[in-house]
Amino acid sequence: MKHLKVKALSVNLRLKKLALSFYLQSSLVDLPLKNYYRYVIPTLDDFSSTDYTIYGPKAFFANMPPSKTLTMNLDVPEPWLVEPVVAIHDLDNILLENLGETRTLQAVYELEALVLTGHCSEKDHEPPRGLQLILGTKSTPHLVDTLVMANLGYWQMKAFPGVWYLQLAPGRSSELYALKEDGDGGQETTLSKRIT
């Protein structure tokens, strides 16, 4: 403990003065910023709108370059598949100088689906070959299916938010394999796994 205190003390004694210098260029050849971000979070969970009127949260950008091609998109968590559903302009090729007197660009985005991902392996930690998984509800057990990648054991499926049950596909997959809880003491089962 004494050694750490002495080291910290010696560092503090050496940092008597700290100077930061910024060298500004008189003219810019290229824009220093390549991305412009605004974080917009709704204040209420209002999913009651039945039309495409835009009353939701808004982002404001000022002093944007009018002659550069811009793209408008959302920075969302990776498993979200979000798509624009209402947009007057091409959101991938925005030129502000072409908007004219219209100083507002509007778009409505919608959560289309979630990407459910996972990994699985055999007892010897090798990826299973030809394993099929199905995802569904209690009333409809097979709504979505996928094959597990033979080289990495990775799988993914598109699903909507909700409660889902993951299970082995009937046939060869359920004959050769059984689901097992993650960890050492897991029990093998042929039942489904609940995913929320």
pLDDT at 92: 93
- Nearest-angstrom CA–CA distance, 15 and 29: 37
- Nearest-angstrom CA–CA distance, 165 and 136: 5
Under a CB-based contact definition with an 8 Å cutoff, are residues 66 and 96 in contact?
yes
- Nearest-angstrom CA–CA distance, 78 and 156: 13
Look up residue 97 and give its DSSP letter: G
Pick from 169, 171, 167, 176: which is nearest to 129 by CA? Answer: 176
pLDDT at 28: 61
pTM value is 0.63
pLDDT at 93: 92
Averaged in consecutive runs of 10 residues, what is the pLDDT profile of the chain (196 residues)?
Answer: 35 49 61 78 62 67 85 89 90 88 81 91 89 93 94 92 91 88 56 65
pLDDT at 167: 92
- Nearest-angstrom CA–CA distance, 128 and 119: 10
pLDDT at 86: 87
pLDDT at 145: 95
